[in-house]
Each structure stands twice: as C-alpha cells, then as structure tokens.
Amino acid sequence: MLFQVRMDVHMPHDLPQEEAADILAREKAYSQALQDSGTWRHIWRIAGQYANVSIFDVKDNAELHAVLTGLPLFKFMTIKVTPLLRHPSSIREDDT
C-alpha cells in the first residue's frame, strides 16, 4: 500500500545540542535504510519549513505505524497520513 505522509518537526529549542545531534544522526541513518529497502520511496523537503512530504510503500497500516513510530524524531513530529491508490487514468502500469 502506498501512503503520502507529511511530517512537521517541532524540536524543542532547549534540547541540548549533543542530544539533538544524536537524534538527527539516528534519524538520517534510519530513513536512509528505509529508502534503501524501498519502504520509503520518496522524500521531499517543504521549502521554508522543517517539514517533508514522503511516500511510503508498506504492507498495511500496522507496518506504516511501526515505521513511523520507529523514527527517532517521532516524539517531535506532527504527522498526517493519506492512503493512496492508483488513479484509473494513470499511464504508469507498474506503480500500484
């Protein structure tokens, strides 16, 4: 199943710099591993915001939930999930 996920990050300004750097390093490694596996298909930064729009390809809602709650930045995020399905007018047969 494909999902569009918008993630807005709200890191506390008083978070110690070392802790923030550690969280960001773990977030990058986790997200890149998910991209390598094909689970996290696309990621786009939203200009001027600490936010992104991403496309995830997972088995079901439960898998998406596990992936998102595994994000090191999860506790600092507001997340909006939109399930996607192939449009009948799409010319791309291989993107389901």
- Look up residue 29 and give its amino acid: A
User: DSSP letter at 46?
Assistant: P
pTM, full prediction: 0.91
CATH of domain 2-84: 3.30.70.1060
| Dihedral angle of Cα 92, 43, 81, 94, to the nearest 10 degrees | 20
* pLDDT at position 93 over 80: no
Query: Closest Cα to residue 10, out of 47, 50, 46?
Result: 50
Contacts of 11 (CB under 8 A, 6+ apart): 20, 23, 50, 73, 76
6's torsion region: left (phi>0), alpha (psi -120 to 50) or beta? beta
Q: How confident is the model over 2-36, as pLDDT tens digits? A: 999 999 999 999 999 999 999 999 999 999 999 99
Looking at residue 48, what is its pLDDT?
Answer: 97
Residue for token pair 């915001």:
49
Paired tokens of 86: 């192939």
Q: Which DSSP helix (H) or strand (E) runs through 9?
A: strand 2-9
